[in-house]
Structure 1
Amino acid sequence: MNPADLPEEGTVVRHERTFTREEVREFADLSGDRGTHHEERDEQGRLLVHGLLTATLPTKIGGDLDVLAREMTFEFRRPVHTGERIVCEVTVADVEHGDGRADVTAPFVCHNGDGELVLSGSFDGVVFA
């Protein structure tokens, strides 16, 4: 990566996604997490999305920023269901430049279409120039 392309403090990146029933089933196959709450539809025909599947939103943004994560924290605030639009916003809070690398810290928040906080946390890692 070109040093000029390193993330800067204050950078805000957003990603939106709506999870499908098929994605929840595929994640259950991949993870082995087959809790009935992920496999049985609710009265509205929705499945409960796995927390770690929801957590792919901030990890996708970290990947877009080329951050090799060292530590990630997640606080699962509200359930997410299939068919809900979820918006994730990551803010680069701190960048410490070193020899050919930058250490990055970034908190994130994810909200549903009603503006309710469903997931928050942070990640820190390194970007190599």
Structure 2
Amino acid sequence: MTDLTPEDLSEGTVVTHERTFTPGEVRTFTTVSGDEGDHHVETDEEGRLLVQGLLTATLPTKVGGDLNVLASRMEFEFRRPVYTGQHIACEVTFVDVDHGDRVEVTAEFEAVRTDDDTTVMAGLFEGIIRRG
């Protein structure tokens, strides 16, 4: 959870969220989403499962959720696969912040595998944060 409040946000604010997905999380997401491709339920030669793109997409949505952003638009570009056991860091940069009756935000993000600095996902989200 970030210690930032909506009032702290300004253009250029950067928030990072990191995590390593587990086989249990992939299996749970498989059940919930119905995304049951073989690559998500059968391990590869290294014993790993391929993490669903939309499960990987929870990295930037965690940042938005911590700030109570109600998203109106989300774009994801899945560039490289993510496997269980790989540590992923997602950097979210707020590129437009308008403080009015509500806070309107646009943020860009990039997620990388920390062991080799490979970008696995990039994109943006837009939304509002209601006041009071």
> Is the Cα contact below 8 Å between 1:73 and 1:122 reproduced in 2?
yes
Structure 1 match to 2:108: 107
Rounded to whole Å, the distance in 2 between the matches of 1:36 and 1:118 is: 20
Q: TM-score, normalised by structure 2?
A: 0.91
Rounded to whole Å, the distance in 2 between the matches of 1:70 and 1:7 is: 18
| Shift in Å, 1:50 | 0.2
Number of residue-to-residue matches in the alignment: 126
For structure 2, the residue ranges without an aligned partner over 5 or more in a row are none
| Shift in Å, 1:97 | 2.4
> Is the Cα contact below 8 Å between 1:111 and 1:119 reproduced in 2?
yes
Moved over 3 A (4+): none
Distance 1:63 1:110, change over 3 A: same
Q: TM-score, normalised by structure 1?
A: 0.94
SS of residue matched to 1:34: coil
> Is the Cα contact below 8 Å between 1:102 and 1:127 reproduced in 2?
yes
Letter in 1 for 2:58: T
Structure 1 match to 2:75: 73
Structure 2 match to 1:61: 63
- Identity percentage over the alignment? 60
The alignment yields a C-alpha RMSD, in angstroms, of 1.3
Alignment deviations for residues 53-92 of structure 1 (CA, whole Å, 9 cap, x no partner):
0000000001112211000000000000000000000001
SS of residue matched to 1:118: strand
**What does 1:26-65 align with in structure 2 at a 5 Å threshold?**
26-65=28-67
For structure 1, the residue ranges without an aligned partner over 5 or more in a row are none
> Is the Cα contact below 8 Å between 1:49 and 1:80 reproduced in 2?
yes
Structure 1 match to 2:18: 16
SS of residue matched to 1:63: helix
> Is the Cα contact below 8 Å between 2:6 and 2:129 reproduced in 1?
no
| Shift in Å, 1:6 | 4.9
